[in-house]
């Protein structure tokens, strides 16, 4: 009986189910995910766009300021000096006032048949000087297109449309000579014996502008910074002192003036205004970047907190389930032993 009884009781060993390893894996994975979620990239796409816009604005405004201030900075610096060379110009003001040109009459044929060449004193030359004599400074400034510049002159198609149009020239006056009008074209217009003034302006970007003006220069010396409102006449092809060939634009204007210091100060005020606007834009863009960064950080932290909360709930649930499974296994073992 004892033998039967002892043999009838099976040796049952029940291993309780365990989710500890799985829980550890979940915990480790969750911690890795949390660490990855907390890692914020260097810059988001919007931030890179903001930075690109900021850089483009900085470059654009910087180039504009440098370009617009280049002439004035150099000219103002030159004009602050008193070491200038006087031009030796003989001018009989009373004799010039006695010359009375006839009334100007437009001539489209002459104006439309101007060619770039080595000749300056053509019929068109006298025609336009005649026209300018009967224009005031205000008339010329009203007709001046401030957008026109060297870049338009180097394009042949644009150059043809620029003939007879006024533009503004600034730079250093390097040469000025007196010329007396003569010949049949001057005689036809009753301009014979009239003195005009031929010179050269050297701009801050290294360009040469050749010109003729009708009014005598007043108190202008060699090397001073000047401005000239003049019409584009032609590209003059001439021989240099070294024997080479040069091509430079030739202009016809009324008078040439020294750039006043006040005008330079006004330009400085404009520059300061641009800098203020640029600073405001930088601040706004910087605020936008910081705001986007803070929003991204808040979202990341909020997401991480929610995920951590879910993981804790899962672990608690797993723990409760493990305890329940262990109790169930113990009960089964006890029942089997009693049997």
Residue 55 lies in a domain: yes
Q: What percent of the chain has pLDDT over 90?
A: 32
Per-residue model confidence (pLDDT) at position 321: 76
90 and 71 in a common domain: no
**Whether residues 276 and 296 fall in one domain:** yes
> Could you list the residue range(s) of the whole structural domain that residue 158 is in?
84-259
Q: What is the dihedral of CA 262, 264, 268, 273, to 10 degrees?
A: 70
Residue 339 within a domain: no
- Model pLDDT, residue 41: 56
Is residue 250 very low, low, confident or very high in pLDDT (cuts 50, 70, 90)? Answer: very high
Please identify, among 243, 259, 275, the residue that sits at the C-terminal boundary of a domain: 259
240 with 323, same domain: the answer is no
Contact between residue 249 and residue 236 where contact means Cβ atoms under 8 Å apart:
yes
CA torsion, points 210, 212, 213, 217, in degrees to nearest 10? 70
What is the pTM assigned to this prediction?
Answer: 0.56
CA angle 77, 201, 121 (to 5 degrees): 165
Do 96 and 211 share a structural domain? Answer: yes
Number of domains present in the structure of the chain: 2
In a shared domain, residues 188 and 252? yes
In whole angstroms, give the CA distance from residue 65 to residue 287.
Answer: 25
Q: Is residue 115's pLDDT more than 80?
A: yes
Does 153 fall in a domain? Answer: yes
Task: Using the predicted structure, report yes or no on whether residue 27 has a pLDDT greater than 70.
Answer: no
Shared-domain flag, residues 103 and 216: yes
- Mean per-residue pLDDT of the chain: 77
The answer to whether residues 157 and 169 belong to one domain is yes
47 found inside a domain: yes
| Mean pLDDT (whole number) for 201-228 | 90
Please compute the mean of the pLDDT values over residues 280-289 and round it to a whole number: 75
37 assigned to some structural domain? yes
Query: For 266, how many CA atoms within 13 A lie in the half-sphere containing its CB?
Result: 5
Q: Are residues 68 and 109 in the same domain?
A: no
Q: Are 226 and 258 in contact (CB under 8 A)?
A: yes
76 & 96 share domain: no
Is pLDDT above 90 for 316?
no
Decide the pairing of beta strands 245-258 and 208-213. Answer: parallel
Alpha carbons 298 and 64: distance in angstroms, whole number? 40
Tell me, yes or no, whether 143 and 206 share the same domain: yes
92 and 211 both lie in a single domain:
yes
- Has residue 110 got a pLDDT over 70? yes
Q: Which has the higher per-residue pLDDT, 316 or 112?
A: 112
Q: Tell me: do 139 and 251 sit in the same domain.
A: yes
Of the segments 145-149, 275-279, 285-289, 294-298, which one has the largest average pLDDT value? Answer: 145-149
Q: What is the CATH number of the domain that holds 240?
A: 2.40.50.140
Start-to-end CA distance of the chain, whole Å, equals: 16
């Amino acid at each position: 009986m004892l033998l039967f009884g002892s043999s009838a009781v099976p040796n049952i060993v029940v291993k309780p189910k365990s989710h500890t390893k799985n829980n550890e894996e979940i915990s480790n994975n969750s911690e890795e995910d949390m660490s990855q979620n907390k890692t914020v990239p260097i810059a988001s796409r919007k931030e890179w766009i903001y930075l690109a816009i900021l850089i483009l604005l900085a470059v654009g405004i910087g180039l504009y300021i440098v370009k617009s201030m280049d002439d004035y900075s150099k000219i103002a610096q030159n004009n602050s000096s008193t070491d200038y060379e006087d031009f030796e110009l003989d001018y009989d003001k009373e004799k010039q006032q006695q010359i009375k040109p006839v009334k100007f009459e437009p001539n489209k044929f002459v104006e439309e048949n101007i060619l770039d060449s080595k000749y300056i004193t053509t019929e068109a030359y006298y025609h336009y000087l005649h026209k300018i004599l009967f224009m005031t400074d205000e008339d010329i400034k009203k007709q001046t297109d401030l957008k026109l510049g060297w870049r338009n002159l180097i394009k042949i198609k644009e150059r043809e449309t620029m003939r007879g149009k006024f533009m503004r020239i600034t730079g250093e006056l390097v040469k000025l000579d007196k010329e007396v009008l003569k010949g049949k074209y001057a005689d036809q217009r009753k301009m014979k014996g009239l003195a005009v003034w031929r010179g050269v302006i050297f701009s801050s970007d290294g360009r040469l502008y050749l010109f003729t003006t009708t009014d005598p220069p007043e108190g202008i010396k060699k090397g001073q910074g000047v401005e000239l409102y003049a019409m584009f006449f032609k590209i003059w092809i001439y021989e240099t002192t070294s024997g080479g060939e040069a091509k430079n634009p030739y202009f016809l204007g009324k008078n040439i003036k020294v750039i006043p210091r006040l005008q330079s100060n006004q330009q400085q005020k404009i520059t300061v205004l641009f800098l203020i606007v640029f600073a405001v834009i930088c601040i706004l863009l910087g605020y936008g970047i910081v705001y986007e960064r803070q929003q991204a950080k808040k979202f990341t932290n909020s997401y991480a907190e929610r995920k951590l909360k879910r993981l804790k709930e899962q672990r608690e649930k797993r723990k409760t389930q493990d305890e329940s499974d262990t109790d169930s296994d113990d009960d089964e073992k006890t029942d089997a032993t009693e049997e």
